Structure 1
Amino acid sequence: MSKNAETNGEQDSSKIWGAFSLVAALLAASVARKGLTATWKAAAGKEPPANPADPEVSLNEALLWAGLSGLLVGIARMLATRRAADYYARSVGKLPPGSQS
């Protein structure tokens, strides 16, 4: 196999992995956000703040929403990306590009 063909294969693999991991992360973030919104409604009895920067939203509520949503969405994205990397490795036989330590 020529060096050019190897480079093209690596580029294709990298593009596939990039798209695959992006979709996994976006789906996970969306599910986490929906779950957090439903939990907020059940616990607080009202909608979460649409814009935590709005001066009409209390500082405590804005900080709580920002902290919880950032934490949960970040964790969901990380877990989804790890799961996607595991699936990729089992399918292709090697870790995704850029995943090696």
Structure 2
Amino acid sequence: MADKGDMGWRVVAAGAAFAGGWVAKKAIAVAWKKGTGKEPPTNPESPDVALSEAIGWIVVMGIGVEVARLLATRAAARQWAKNSGTASQHLKTEV
């Protein structure tokens, strides 16, 4: 069973990843609308959406959300280590 510190880190990391992804989705949608002049596709799988637009949306959204989640989780990890004096076991790398 995970100890309290480990469970605390998991909650913090999940919250940071969720928040980072949510903010990225909103920001990417606004940028898409400004850049293309159209609303982002709500259903890229629909045949009514041009294939190039669907692929572009999925690529931009996928990369953007994952980068934001990574950055948010890394920022949370730095703050966790600063506050607790040690990094979570999940963050330590084997050399």
Percent identity, please.
35
Q: Determine the structure 2 residue equivalent to 1:3.
A: none
Structure 1: gaps of 5 or more residues: 1-7
Structure 1 segments (4+ residues) deviating >6 Å: none
Higher radius of gyration, 1 or 2: 1
TM-score norm. by structure 2 comes to 0.93
Q: Determine the structure 1 residue equivalent to 2:67.
A: 75
TM-score norm. by structure 1 comes to 0.88
Q: Find the partner of 1:23 among 3, 12, 15.
A: 15
Give aligned pairs, total.
Answer: 93
1:65 equivalenced with 2:57 (yes/no) = yes
Query: How far apart, CA to CA, are the structure 1 residues paired with 2:9 and 2:26?
Result: 26
Query: Alpha carbon RMSD of aligned pairs, Å?
Result: 1.2
Q: Shift of the alpha carbon at 1:14?
A: 1.1
Structure 2: gaps of 5 or more residues: none
